[in-house]
Amino acid sequence: MSLLIEHEIDSATRRRGTRRFLLLSLLIIVALVTAMLVRQGLFRHSTKLSFVADTAQDISKGQAVQIAGFRVGAVTSVSLRDDSRVVVEVEVDSGEMHLVTHDARIELRKEGLVGSAKLEIIPGPDKTRLATSESRLAFTRADGLGALANQVRDEFVPILRDIKAITGTLADPATGLPATLAQIRGTTQSLNGLLQNGDRQVGEIGGGATRVLGAAETSLGHLGRTLETTNKQLPELLDRAQRVLQHTETISAEAAASVPPALRDGSATAADVRDIVRGAKQTWPISTMVDGPGPSRIRTDSDPRAEGGGASNAGN
C-alpha cells in the first residue's frame, strides 16, 4: 500500500510541475507576442497624412517617413488617381505631430544622390498651427544625380560653343591669326625702314644743332661784351639814381609836413562853402531860382550807338 501512496504523491507532484511549466511558457509567449505587437506599433497612436505626387518612382509602401533624420512614421498606401497622379498615405506617430505644421511639406530625398530614397517631413514657417489628421501636405523631390547632370550640361554647352567659335575665328586665314601674323610681319618691316630714316634724320639734326650751338656761342660772346660795358656804366647810373632818390625823399618829407594841413584846410573850406551854398539855396529869393534835389531823368535812346540791327563787336 505504501508503494501506491508514494506513486500517487509522485504523480501529483509531476502534474503540478507540468502545469507550472505550461503556465510559465504561456506567459512568456504572451509577453513575446505583446512585445512584438508593441514593436509593430499596434498599440501606438498614429495620425494619417497624405500627399500627391506626379509619379510613384522611389516611393513604396512601408517606406520610412522621417523628421530631421528620425523615423516617425511610414507609407501606408500608394494609389493611382484617375488623373494619372499618385496619392500616397502615410501614418505618423501622434507623439511627433507637434513638429508637423499645417504648411509642412514632404520631400523625397536620396542619400548621397544615388542611395535609398526617404521621405522627410520639413516643417513650414508658420509654427502657430499644426497639421491635423487627414491633412494633405505638399510634396517635392530633391534634385538627384539626373538633375545635377542636366544643370552641368546646360552650363557647359554654351561655353563649348563659344570656344568653338573663337577657335574658328582664330584659324580663319583671312581674319584670324595667320593674317594678323602677316600684318605684324609687314609692320615690322615698315618700322625697320622708319628707324633707318630716323637714324639718318637724327644725324642731320645733330649737325644742325652743332651749327646752332656755334651761333649761340657767338651771341653769348656779344652778350659778354655788352655786360662788360653795362658793368662799367652801372656804378655811375646808380650814383645818379641815389641822388635823385635823396632829392625825392627831401621833397616828400617837406610835402608831408605842408600838404596835409593844406588839404585839411581846403576840406574845411570846401565844407564851409558847401554849407553856405546849401543855406543860400534854401533862402528866398535864391530858393525860387534853384531846383531842389530830386530824381534825375535821362533821355531814352533806343539805339545809343546807332547800331541798327547789328550788335557791337566790342561786346563786354
Partner 1 sequence: MPATRPPIAWLTLLAMLAGLAGMTMGGCSSAPKVVVPPLLEQALSIESDAARRYQRGELEAASRGFAEAVRAFVAIDDGAGIARNRHHLARVHLARGKPAAALQQLVDPADTSLDADLIRAQALLGLQRHDEAETKLRKRLPECTEACRHGPALQLLLARLALATSHPDQAVRHAQLALTLLAKDATLDDGREQANAYRLLAQAMLAGGAVEQAEIAAQQALTLDRQLALPEKLARDWLLLGEIRQQIALRQTPPSSLVAARAAYRQAQEIATAAGLSELRTAAEAALMRLPVP
Q: Kindly indicate which of the ranges 14-22, 129-137, 196-204, 308-316 contains the residues binding partner 1, using the contact rule CB under 8 A.
A: 308-316
For the bound state, the minimum distance from the C-beta of residue 266 to partner 1, rounded and expressed in Å, comes to 19
Residues 266-295 that bind partner 1 (CB under 8 A): 282, 284-285, 287-288, 292-295
CA 153 to centroid of chain Cα atoms? 29
Query: The C-alpha cell of 261 is what?
Result: 594841413
For the bound state, the minimum distance from the C-beta of residue 227 to partner 1, rounded and expressed in Å, comes to 41
136 binds partner 1 (CB under 8 A): no
* 100: phi then psi, degrees, rounded to nearest 5: -100, 105
For the bound state, the minimum distance from the C-beta of residue 275 to partner 1, rounded and expressed in Å, comes to 11
229 binds partner 1 (CB under 8 A): no
Query: The C-alpha cell of 280 is what?
Result: 543860400
Which CB sits closer to partner 1, 235 or 309?
Answer: 309
Binding residue for partner 1 (CB under 8 A) from 190, 229, 233, 313? 313
What own/partner pairs with CB < 8 Å and gap ≥ 24 does 104-107 have?
A: 104/131, 104/137, 104/138, 105/137, 105/138, 105/139, 105/140, 106/49, 106/51, 106/65, 106/137, 106/138, 106/139, 106/140, 107/139, 107/140, 107/141, 107/142
233 binds partner 1 (CB under 8 A): no
Which CB sits closer to partner 1, 247 or 305?
Answer: 305
Binding residue for partner 1 (CB under 8 A) from 40, 84, 229, 300? 300
Which CB sits closer to partner 1, 239 or 307?
Answer: 307
70 binds partner 1 (CB under 8 A): no
Q: Kindly indicate which of the ranges 165-173, 193-201, 202-210, 306-314 contains the residues binding partner 1, using the contact rule CB under 8 A.
A: 306-314
For the bound state, the minimum distance from the C-beta of residue 281 to partner 1, rounded and expressed in Å, comes to 9
Which CB sits closer to partner 1, 231 or 316?
Answer: 316
For residue 287, CA distances in Å to 7, 59, 233, 272 come to 179, 124, 70, 19
Binding residue for partner 1 (CB under 8 A) from 1, 5, 289, 298? 298
Which CB sits closer to partner 1, 42 or 314?
Answer: 314
For the bound state, the minimum distance from the C-beta of residue 304 to partner 1, rounded and expressed in Å, comes to 4
For the bound state, the minimum distance from the C-beta of residue 273 to partner 1, rounded and expressed in Å, comes to 14
Which CB sits closer to partner 1, 5 or 314?
Answer: 314
For the bound state, the minimum distance from the C-beta of residue 212 to partner 1, rounded and expressed in Å, comes to 41
Q: Kindly indicate which of the ranges 56-64, 157-165, 174-182, 303-311 contains the residues binding partner 1, using the contact rule CB under 8 A.
A: 303-311
For the bound state, the minimum distance from the C-beta of residue 278 to partner 1, rounded and expressed in Å, comes to 8
Q: Kindly indicate which of the ranges 114-122, 146-154, 196-204, 297-305 contains the residues binding partner 1, using the contact rule CB under 8 A.
A: 297-305
Residues lying near partner 1 in the complex (CB under 8 A) are found at 282, 284-285, 287-288, 292-316
